[in-house]
A and B are shown apart, each in its own frame.
Chain A
Amino acid sequence: MTELTRRTLLQTGAAVGALVSMPAILRAQAAPVRIGILQPVTGALAQDGEYGRLGAQIALDEINAAGGIKALGGAKLEVVFGDARSNPEGGTQEVERMEAEKVSAIVGGFASPIVLAASQAASRYNIPYICDVGVSDQIVNRGLTNTFRFGPGFGIVTSTALENLVKLNEAAGKPAKTVVVVHEDGLFGSGMAKLLQAQLPGRGFEILETIAHPTPSRDMSNVALRIRALNPDLVIPSSYYAEFVLLARTMQQQRIRPKGIYAILNGAASNFRFVKEFPDAANLVMDCNHWADPRKAKTAEVRRLAEAGGRFWLYNTPLNYSCVKLLADAIERAGSSDRAKITEALANSTFADHIMPYGPTKFVNGQNQGAAPVNTQVQNGDIKVIFPDAFSDAKPVFPAV
């Protein structure tokens, strides 16, 4: 046992004093608001999930550094992170855990099947759910009052993509008439292919064939061979990252050069990693997808923060950044961490301080009416915006050959 000296006695006294005064400090600090961030960070979709989580984290850090939720006395946002493990069951389980951890709202999901299941589970507990990417229109067509989608669904994306495609083709003197659609065979790709089949013929394009492929795929040679046999003017691929990279490489190997590769919601065509690793295969590939608004000053700042960690600039990051900011604004206006009040604030939201190319939010049945995609094209190792004209930074190169 140590001897009790005057010094230790003084130290102990000071420590006890500090402890006694602690509750006063704790009272001054408002209780944090818990936010569930749900992303698939393991499994097949882990890459997208990580980039989504990165965007959410940048927004959370920014909000907390700026003094938290002012209406709640500077309450900090506290993240409850959930890994959806790339499947709907994983997403649902994490929502159950988030319910147990008393989150006020959930943001994320990434893939349509995960968002469908997770937002459904969240609706049982009236947890407001903001979908970051999930493009299937089923997500907002079920009448769930807790579910909000900030970005565009594939209905909006497809019609915008087709309008721009017609513009592109007409400006070039209509070189493209025939199309092969390549899509992943899940909820997102199949739904998209149906829309294309319905809408392409009416816009003057003939679909030669629609080729479905599974995710993951070991080999895309057959798909490439069929494209070669059909010799279409345009290839429209909708796949996740790895499969499109394989397809683009195989097409290059097989010397398949259509007049254009016009991707819609493609996992790789707007990804700097793909552009960096395969400059030749990626060059002149076009995509209609989510993209941050390059005109907004904040976009450059978020991009710098994302790239500082050695990451590439992907749409998942600005979308999740914006979704978390949208939620923080709703909590601020609700002046409460109560789920029902946040849901109401979201439903009436006119939030504009985001970095996507949308105006102020306006939700109708949970869908943000202002949400819109942009068209990009890989040009000389960079990803340029070619539509809409309002903020395009390059002219489209079409036909590519």
Chain B
Amino acid sequence: MLQIDILLSALANGLMTGAVYALIALGLTLVYGVLHVINFAHGATLTAAMFAVWAAHDGLGIDPYVAILFLTPLFFALGYALQRFVIGPASHGSDSNILLVTLGLSIVIENALLAAFRSDTRSIDVPYGFSVIELGNLFLPLPKVIAFFASFLVAALLWGLMAHTDIGKAIRAVSREKTGAALSGIPVEHVYAVTFGLGAACLAVAACLLMPTFLVNPRVGNAFVLVAFTIVVLGGMGSVPGALIGGLIIGVVESLSGLYFGESLGQIGIFLIFILVLLVRPAGLFGARA
């Protein structure tokens, strides 16, 4: 029989991991919700961001949490430019073309990273990397606790941005009715690019939160991208709170099913919950009803 503190540890760990999953899914759900684009380059962009965190730490001695300050705007700009100058023009507005362009882009990014950083798995050693917060018998790794709260903060900021700012309103307008928004003077291409930029910025934050406890190699983004897609569908495509709650659910389910059914079968739990939710609510937890 499993001890209660093991169960609680697994639960806490699932929540903390799930919060980072949520952050990765946030960018994806935003891009899907507005551009109706399934962005296959999401994982590769995350990998690029993780390498940026690693390089900043290894080359310049910059702490990953400090790196949030400049990597977030940098990746926003990168995402903006990618949509504006690569994905937008290359796809000629067709959804199926965008799919292929983002898929191609992911291959290009991955291989560029492979060429630049070689295939080695790298990690960073920060002074607080092994610090833990002790709650009775629970050891909560400090970087994971920070990641948990930071993910909520980012989700709240993003939600505030969408609800209360002009650009947020424009994004929502474009996602609802692209032609109508264009007719009322909203610069659709700009809004698309901003959305893509926000997605990339979320990934930059996620990368900074992940690196103190995780590792990076040119393929590492793939480990997260499938789970992020699952969260997007589970939470309701395009929904910010959906991504957050979906991420937490998936994190906990993965952790507990890993604990009870064995690590190799942990993934099955994710898809069982996924199928169950979709049977009951086909549009996802927070999805708009069709």
A interface with B by C-beta (< 8 Å) = 41-44, 46-47, 49-50, 185, 211-214, 216-219, 221-223, 225-226, 228-229, 241-242, 245-246, 249, 252-255, 273, 277-278, 280
Contacts and interface: CB of A to CB of B under 8 A. Distances in A.
B166 to A, nearest CB: 38
B66 interface: no
A280 B131 CA distance: 13
Contacts of B132: 253-255
B183 interface: no
B125 A212 contact: no
B264 A253 contact: no
A87 B217 CA distance: 17
For the complex of A and B, the 7 pairs showing the least CB-CB separation, nearest first, are A46-B119, A213-B263, A222-B258, A221-B13, A185-B264, A47-B119, A253-B141
23 contacts: A42-B111, A42-B114, A42-B119, A46-B217, A50-B118, A50-B120, A185-B263, A214-B264, A216-B220, A216-B222, A216-B223, A217-B223, A219-B255, A222-B255, A225-B9, A225-B10, A242-B121, A249-B129, A253-B130, A253-B213, A273-B122, A277-B122, A277-B125
A222 B264 contact: no
Given A226-B259, A228-B6, A218 B215 contact: no
A209 to B, nearest CB: 10
B267 A214 contact: yes
A214 B121 contact: no
B263 A222 contact: yes
Contact of A245 (B10, B123, B220): B123
Interface in B184-235: 213-215, 217-220, 222-224, 227
Interface centre among A228, A252, A253 (most CB of B within 10 A): A253
Interface of B: 2-3, 6, 9-10, 13, 17, 111, 114, 118-125, 129-130, 132, 139, 141, 213-215, 217-220, 222-224, 227, 254-255, 258-259, 262-264, 266-267
Contacts of B130: 249, 252-253, 280
Contacts of B255: 219, 221-222
B142 to A, nearest CB: 9
A221 B10 CA distance: 8
A43 B107 CA distance: 12
Nearest to A49: B119
A223 B266 CA distance: 11
Given A42-B111, A222-B255, A229-B2, 9 more contacts: A42-B119, A50-B120, A185-B264, A211-B263, A212-B264, A213-B263, A225-B13, A249-B129, A252-B130
B266 A50 contact: no
A211 B261 CA distance: 10
A41 B119 contact: yes
B263 A277 contact: no
A41 B115 CA distance: 11
A218 B10 contact: no
Interface centre among B2, B10, B141, B262 (most CB of A within 10 A): B262
B216 to A, nearest CB: 9
Given A218-B224, A226-B6, A229-B3, A246 B215 contact: yes
Contacts of B120: 47, 50, 273
A253 B145 CA distance: 13
Contacts of A213: 263-264
Given A245-B121, A253-B130, A225 B263 contact: no
A218 B18 CA distance: 11
Contact of B263 (A44, A47, A217, A253): A217
A159 to B, nearest CB: 26
B121 A50 contact: no
Nearest to B13: A221
Nearest to B141: A253
Nearest to A212: B264
A223 B263 contact: yes
A44 B123 contact: no
A5 to B, nearest CB: 48
Interface centre among B120, B218, B220, B227 (most CB of A within 10 A): B120
A222 B262 CA distance: 9
Nearest to A246: B215
B119 A245 contact: no
Contacts of B119: 41-42, 46-47, 49-50
B175 to A, nearest CB: 30
Contacts of B129: 249
A49 B120 CA distance: 10
A212 B118 contact: no
Nearest to A228: B6
Contacts of B111: 42
Interface centre among B118, B120, B121 (most CB of A within 10 A): B121
Nearest to A240: B121
Nearest to B3: A229
Contacts of B222: 216
Contacts of B267: 214
